[in-house]
Amino acid sequence: MRVLVTGGAGFIGSHVVEALTARGHEAVVFDVRADPAADVRDPAAVARAVEGVDAVCHQAAMVGLGVGFADAAEYVSRNDLGTAVLLAAMAEAGVRHLVLAGSMVVYGEGRYACPRDGVVRPGPRAVADLEAGRFEPRCPVCGAELTPGLVGEDAPADPRNVYATTKLAQEHLAAAWARSTGGSAVSLRYHNVYGPRMPRDTPYAGVASFFRSALARGEAPRVFEDGRQRRDFVHVRDVAAANVVALQAPSAPGALTAYNTGSGEPHTVGEMARALADAHGGPAPVVTAEYRLGDVRHITADSSRLRAELGWKPEVGFAEGMREFAACR
């Protein structure tokens, strides 16, 4: 199979290229890092790129929370306009199989259960609560403490920041393309991906990268809130393998199917910071009580659908992955 990988020179995309090649496929890289003319928003460049390919693995995106709402136009341009240009070129060229780099950010907060009211969806956390160190969302019905759980793909979308909004829009565009062309689309909703080649020293990187960069400078990782916010940290090689499985598997024509892509093992951000610091040899993390308004409290994946339907399973455990990541240069 000949597969166009947008963002194929980037963090996740480069691992997808390696995984495809290892399984005997031909990966075609389309990435501004490799070629400044390879802009996914350029209809002519994209039209040339999709010629003769059997499928597209769309990894190119502007990621993270960025530095503020001033980034909004750039996020929409790169993520949503870029995806629309790509899908239009695929429609014209007759390419009918897409795997999209989705994200767990489309859910907003994760799944919560109230002892009285059952499964509930808390709204955005109030600034006054965050300032006072009240980080846990409360039941929107009775105000009781909530128990976080694993979020499934059928949970309603509730994006809480610009990046999240663009990732949900990408899915809607892909679904519209699939209905219009009879193509098949899969969105792999990545949870917190980490591993070799993760970007460093940029406000658009993930929290694991922030901590590793601090340790490399001899500084303590600064853990926001109280460090007890739960995430699902999944290794980039496992994510790359999920992309290959999704590209190879038969999928429903005319529709988009979403799959959570996570390790299935929740860990707190504080645990992750300590694991990295221990593997690196210190210094120990510092819990700061700082916060970012666009962050959610708990979001962890139920990835059973991906395991059951496509036969994927993660291979890199948390401790092993953190040791490897701490040693990355």
Which active-site residues does the annotation give? 163
How far is 5 from 17, CA to CA, in rounded Å? 7
Burial 238-270 (b: 16+ CB within 10 A, else e): bbbbbbbbbbeeebeeeebbbbbbbbbebbbbb
Q: Name the CA radius of gyration of the chain, rounded.
A: 20
- On whether the CB atoms of residues 282 and 90 are closer than 8 A, the answer is no
DSSP string, 218-257: T---EE-TTS--EEEEEEHHHHHHHHHHHHHS---TTEEE
The distance from CA 62 to its chain's CA centroid, rounded to whole angstroms, is: 11
- On whether the CB atoms of residues 112 and 146 are closer than 8 A, the answer is yes
CB atoms within 10 A of CB 284: 10
Q: Say how many residues make up the chain.
A: 329
DSSP string, 68-114: SGGGHHHHIIIIIIHHHHHHHHHHHHT--EEEEEEEGGGGSS-EEEE
- On whether the CB atoms of residues 134 and 149 are closer than 8 A, the answer is no
Pick the closest to residue 191 from 105, 293, 64, 314 (CA basis): 105
